[in-house]
Amino acid sequence: MALASSMFAVGLVFAGAEQSDGMGLAITLALRTLPTMILAFVGGVFADRWSRKHIAIVSLACVACTYVVDALLIGPYGLGWQVQALSLLAGFASALGAPALYALLPSIVDADDIVHGNGVVRTLRNAGSIIGPLLAAGIANWLSSAALFLCSGAVEAAAALCLLGLRMRDERVDEHDGSEESIGSSLLAIPQVFATYHWLAVGVVFWALFLGVQSGAADVLLPLYVVDGHGKAAWSLMTAVLSLGYITGSIVVLRYGMKRWLLTGSVLWSLLAAVQLVVVALWNNYVVWIIVTFLAGMGLEISGALWGSVLQSRVDQAHMGRVSSIDYALSFGCIPFAYALYGLLVRSSMPVVMAVSAIVMAVAGVCVVPLTLAEDRAVITTGNADLSRQDA
């Protein structure tokens, strides 16, 4: 999946740069993520009621089909409405399948191994993300940017086939199994989740703002800024280095475990992404860009692993599908709007916009840390009290 996604993303950037179509790139990215806000909730209910494995397979297969059709349309139409419509269709499929994919891990590993399980999954994912951009640059130079979409479709289809052979340890779904509670009732019950897991509101509000700003600046402005100044190869290398940072972060998680202060750690590590934006904006030195890009990838990876571990270790399995859909929909819900907004800012001074974006991200992190510290402290205190009772 990571290999397919990274090749697809590089293909979009190359197509946008070749046609000087920054707005087309922004709209295509926005439509890819737009269904997240609404359909992810439905996907979460599906994941709690039916086979998560089968939902994930169907989702991946649908996305693979859109990539293949993109390969046929990108040449004659560029990032026009045809490709944008397919991007929206892929977004629908991803939004419905993402909660099921996310909720698979607790059905495969024990609760005590969730952090390490996240580390293993992310290590493999990031290996694909490193190979993807480098492979994409070679394919684009050897064949064409359109060929990247065909390759992405083939790899995505292979990922779906891999899930077919996945053995589930315990795939727990809603006991009602659809007979006593309608899907509509399940959707209406989603707000009650915040009453059960109050820390979830703090997390998703922070991630909605942070990821919206970070994605707009790093996915729309940053690649165009780098390609314009240093060429396609420079951006492909930065993307590969970002993925190398990701895999380093996952190795850190595997090596050190990090079972305490998870919520606070997820916020603090994410701020390295703000450092990347402000350094690129203020210092025109490609070697330094490579360094901060690596650090940004490492920070985002550790942050994501810790946040995922918070959800998967502090949420009951019966609610996992719905909680993951809330996280997916709200945390990523601002991204399509950010893509559209940053697409309008392409003709502005990109370094200034990236620097301001970094400041907003940093301020958001500083504001939320006192709340996350209180929640982590409460969890640690409760855990210590439970251990004391067991010893007694």
End-to-end CA distance of the chain: 48
In a domain, 174, yes or no: no
C-alpha–C-alpha distance, residues 161 and 110, integer Å: 25
In a domain, 170, yes or no: no
In a domain, 75, yes or no: yes
Token digits of residue 379: 């969890």
Q: Map residue 257 onto helix, strand or coil.
A: coil
Residue range of the domain that includes 210 = 2-163+190-391
pLDDT tens string, the chain, 392 residues long: the values are: 777 777 887 777 777 777 777 777 778 877 887 777 667 667 766 776 777 788 888 888 998 999 889 888 887 777 788 888 988 888 888 878 877 776 677 667 666 666 667 667 777 776 776 777 777 777 877 777 778 888 888 888 888 887 877 766 555 444 444 444 455 555 555 667 666 777 888 888 899 899 999 999 998 899 888 888 788 788 888 988 998 898 888 888 877 766 778 889 999 999 999 999 999 999 989 999 999 999 999 999 999 889 888 887 777 766 666 677 677 667 777 787 888 888 888 777 888 999 999 999 999 999 999 999 998 888 888 754 443 443 44
DSSP class of residue 180 equals: S
Give the span between the Cα atoms of 197 and 312, in whole angstroms.
12
Is residue 169 situated within a structural domain?
no
Angle of CA points 84, 297, 342, to nearest 5°: 40
Is there a contact between 343 and 50 (Cβ–Cβ < 8 Å)?
no
Tell whether 41 is covered by a domain. Answer: yes
168 domain residue, yes or no: no
Helix, strand or coil, per DSSP, at residue 347: coil
For residue 182, tell me if it sits in a domain.
no
Side-chain-side CA neighbours of 229 within 13 Å: the count stands at: 14
* 166 DSSP assignment: P
Amino acid at 214: Q
Q: Which of 49, 244, 53, 76 shows the shortest CA–CA distance to 165?
A: 53
Nearest to 97 by CA among 155, 152, 35: 35
Q: How many domains does the chain have?
A: 1
Can you say how many angstroms the Cα of residue 378 is from the centroid of all Cα atoms in its chain? 28
156: tokens are: 């995505």
Structure-token match 């360094």, residue found: 291
181 occurs within a structural domain: no
Instruction: List the CATH number of the domain containing 8.
Output: 1.20.1250.20
Q: What is the pTM of this model?
A: 0.65
